[in-house]
Chains A and B, each alone.
Chain A
Amino acid sequence: MIYLTGLLLLLLWLVCGRHGWVIFGSLAGSFITLMLLVMLIADEFNPVVVGVILAVVLVYWAIYPNTPNPQVRRTALVCTLMTLLLLLALAVVFIYGTFSYGFASEDTEEIEQFVTSIGISFPQIQVIVVLLSSLGAVAEASIAISAGMWELVAYQPQISAQRLWAAGLALSRKNLITAFNTLLFGFFGSYLTLGLWFLQLHYAPVKIINNVIVSTAVVELVLAFGGILLVMLLVNGYIIWQRRHQTR
């Protein structure tokens, strides 16, 4: 593990130069922030409250080191934070609505040694899990799209709002597809063993689609997709609104 981490650091430095150190530093910062979050929740702080506060910190960790241009940075930050607010509401609705939280009977082997009545709300923990797992993808999309659109504005300062909107959508489309795939393949990797377990123990299809782990995964995936879609529309709208604001 240590050797692989060292290899990653070396490659980052070789390919990205000094910026490689910044990337590695921001990863370490995110890691420490997440560990802090987990420990605060375990110390009975309300999961949603500390989760939302530290999610804002994580947004800064994800966006600040990766946006040299202040205009792009501001757009990305504002739009990511707004999207996370909307996602928070959606996560609460769908996690309680689909009962996608806690552990399943398939987890028994892993958790049977533990006391599960720990007095911390698992639905609330899951809300934060959904928020954080979509955060990376939302931040990436907002950085990529706002960078592309501001570049477009710099090239053609006279471009009309309508054409800018169309160009923004075209730009977003490409980003959306690749980001969707990254998440989808990531989930395939995470749930390969679960899929084999289902098949090899001859689960009925009804039982699979009603399973907690499956529904938790679907909620996470769909809300992350939804988050990318939302942030893309927000970035488009925000940049057009800002341009109109400036010219007046």
Chain B
Amino acid sequence: MTQLKQLSNRRQNYWLMVAGFMMIGLVWGLFQLQSTTTIGVVEKVQVLQRQPITSSYQNHDQQITQRLQVRLVTGPKRGQRYQVRNRYMRSQAVTNRYFVGTPVVVQRASASTLILLGPQRSASLLVLLSVLLFVLVAVLRQSGLVIIISAVLNSLWFVAALLVMTHWQNQHMLLITSCAALLMTLGTGILVFGLSRQTQVALSATLISIILTLGISLLFLTLSHDQGLHYETLAYGVQPYKTVFIAETILGLLGAVMDETTDITASIEQLMQENPDLKPRQLYQSGLQVGREIVGPLVNILFYLFLAELMPLIILYLRNGNTLQFTLSRTMTLGYTQTVISAIGIVMAVPITAILAEKWLQGESK
């Protein structure tokens, strides 16, 4: 017993070591990137002036002027101190309030003056990412590592897809997205669940559901002549609007549908292990049952994610004298449609996965 415990302790240390190495890699990469910018740290903060501001639509705010003492921590003038002024609004929509200890990105204009470019975010982000990596590996060990590897791989596919799109000047965008989606599905499925029958069913159900959902949804959109949709409100206006919109939809749909299909197949697999002589029909029924139970929570995830991200923009619209109806039509028609299409995908995946699981079992018992 004690031997067993020692062994498991040693394995735990091993995973922690792997996490440690990953963190060192992250820190090293960040330092490489940062070596091209000049970074300072705020040492002293003094408020010089507070001025009330009233703008149109009865918006009241306060403009505050800070005097900051910044010490450079990188570059040839490391250690030198400069005085910089910073003006910010109390609401901080596009300006920032600085505190003692804030790292800032700066540019030296002359021997005695410094231009403040903005806060340096990557160091704190690194802390956040390291904590997550560490906790993941410490709690889940090997599975934690698998999660991290699959997340990194998927991000690489995503960046690769973006690079190819840029290279081809935004041509064939749908083809590229579909290929990336296929690679992500296969990669995640095999890495996380292994090359089993269960994975095969889940992956084929995912692909079939996505294709069917996209087909039906696009047919509906075309038949209604994109009624109510404002493609021109697409963020950052990357052309062609409709193609980019569909590419975004494919990616969102993929995550949601894969979640549903893997959950259903996993519980059918478990059921089959518990009572091996279940009839295919019963498996189909219980697959439906499991699927129905998770439809609601899954749709909620997407719904909250999409609405929460829009909040700052909606509030800005409302405070600028716009009606709620106009605000919503300018901010959420595209996101709403994408969320509804993903929800349709989630619902369609339930019977598709259950049918595939039934067929797959019939094939196995013959």
- Which A residues have a C-beta under 8 Å from some C-beta of B? 1-5, 7-8, 11-12, 15-17, 19, 22-23, 26-27, 30-31, 34-35, 37-39, 41-42, 58, 62, 65-66, 94, 97-103, 106, 109-111, 113-123, 125-126, 128-130, 132-133, 135-137, 139-140, 143-144, 147, 169, 173-186, 188-190, 192-197, 199-200, 204-206, 209-212, 215, 218-220, 222, 225-226, 229, 233
Contact of A2 among B146, B227, B344 (CB under 8 A): B227
Are A206 and B34 in contact, CB atoms less than 8 angstroms apart?
yes
- Partner-binding segment picked from B13-21, B78-86, B309-317: B309-317
Residues of A close to B147: CB separation below 8 A: 176-177, 180
Q: Is the CB of A210 within 8 A of B120?
A: yes
Rounded to whole angstroms, the CA-CA distance of A229 and B139 in the bound complex is 9
B319 nearest in chain A by CB position: A118
* Complex interface bits, B219-249 against A, C-beta within 8 A gives 1, otherwise 0: 0110110011100001111100000100111
In the complex formed, the residue of B with least CB distance to A22 is B296
User: Is B165 in contact with chain A by the CB < 8 A criterion?
Assistant: yes
Chain B residue nearest to A120 (CB atoms) is B91
Is B105 in contact with chain A by the CB < 8 A criterion?
yes
Q: Which of A17, A116, A183 contacts B316 (CB 8 A)?
A: A116
Is the pair B307, A209 in contact by a Cβ cutoff of 8 Å?
no
* Residue B178 interfacial (CB < 8 Å): no
Q: List 22 A-B contacts (CB under 8 A).
A: A2-B228, A23-B299, A27-B299, A35-B324, A38-B318, A66-B297, A99-B118, A103-B312, A117-B63, A119-B62, A120-B319, A132-B307, A133-B304, A133-B308, A136-B305, A178-B259, A182-B298, A184-B151, A184-B255, A193-B237, A197-B236, A210-B118
| Known A23-B299, A119-B61, A193-B244: A132·B344 in contact at CB below 8 Å | no
Chain A residues near B314 (CB-CB < 8 A): 38, 42
Given contacts A122-B92, A133-B309, A196-B170, contact A15 B59 (CB under 8 A): no
Q: Which B residues are CB-close (under 8 A) to A120?
A: 91, 315, 319
Q: Which of A116, A136, A181 contacts B94 (CB under 8 A)?
A: A116
The reply on B361 being an interface residue by CB < 8 A is no
Q: Which residues of A contact B184 (CB under 8 A)?
A: 185
User: Would A122 and B312 count as touching, CB distance under 8 A?
Assistant: yes
A158 vs chain B, min Cβ distance (A): 18
**Contact of A180 with B151 in the complex, beta carbons under 8 Å:** yes
Residue in B221, B341, B350 whose beta carbon sits within 8 Å of that of A15 in the complex: B350
B91 to chain A, nearest CB (A): 6
Q: Is B44 an interface residue (CB 8 A)?
A: no
Interface residues of B (CB under 8 A from A): 30, 33-34, 36-37, 53, 55-57, 59-63, 89-96, 105, 118-122, 124-125, 127-129, 131-132, 135-136, 139-140, 143, 146-147, 150-151, 154-155, 158-159, 162-163, 165-166, 170, 184, 188, 192, 216-217, 220-221, 223-224, 227-229, 234-238, 244, 247-256, 258-259, 262-263, 266, 288, 291-305, 307-309, 311-320, 324, 333, 336-338, 340-341, 343-344, 347-348, 350-351
For B129, what are the chain A residues with a Cβ–Cβ distance below 8 Å? 218, 222
A223 to B23, CA, bound (A): 18
Q: Are A185's CB and B255's CB within 8 A? A: yes
**With a CB–CB cut-off of 8 A, which chain B residues contact A210?**
105, 118, 120-122
* Alpha-carbon distance between A5 and B340 when the two chains are bound, in angstroms: 7
Q: Given A102-B94, A197-B238, does the pair A110, B313 have CB atoms closer than 8 Å?
A: yes
- On chain B, the residues within 8 Å of A192 by CB distance are 162, 244, 247-248, 251
Contact of B259 among A130, A139, A169, A181 (CB under 8 A): A181
Q: What is the bound-complex CA distance between A193 and B334, given in angstroms?
A: 13
Once A140-B298, A192-B244 are accepted as A-B contacts, the answer to whether A3 and B94 lie under 8 Å apart by CB is: no
Residues of B within 8 A of A196 (CB): 162, 165-166, 170, 236, 238, 244
- A residues less than 8 Å from B140 (CB atoms): 169, 173, 176
Give the distance in Å from the alpha carbon of A211 to the alpha carbon of B262 in the complex.
35
Residue in B91, B166, B234, B304 with the greatest tally of chain A CB atoms within 10 Å: B304
Given contacts A117-B89, A197-B238, A215-B121, contact A62 B300 (CB under 8 A): yes
Q: Select B307's contact among A19, A31, A116, A117, beta carbons within 8 Å.
A: A31
Other A-B pairs, 12, CB within 8 Å; known A111-B316, A193-B236: A4-B221, A8-B340, A23-B296, A38-B315, A103-B312, A129-B309, A144-B263, A181-B255, A182-B259, A183-B305, A188-B255, A189-B253
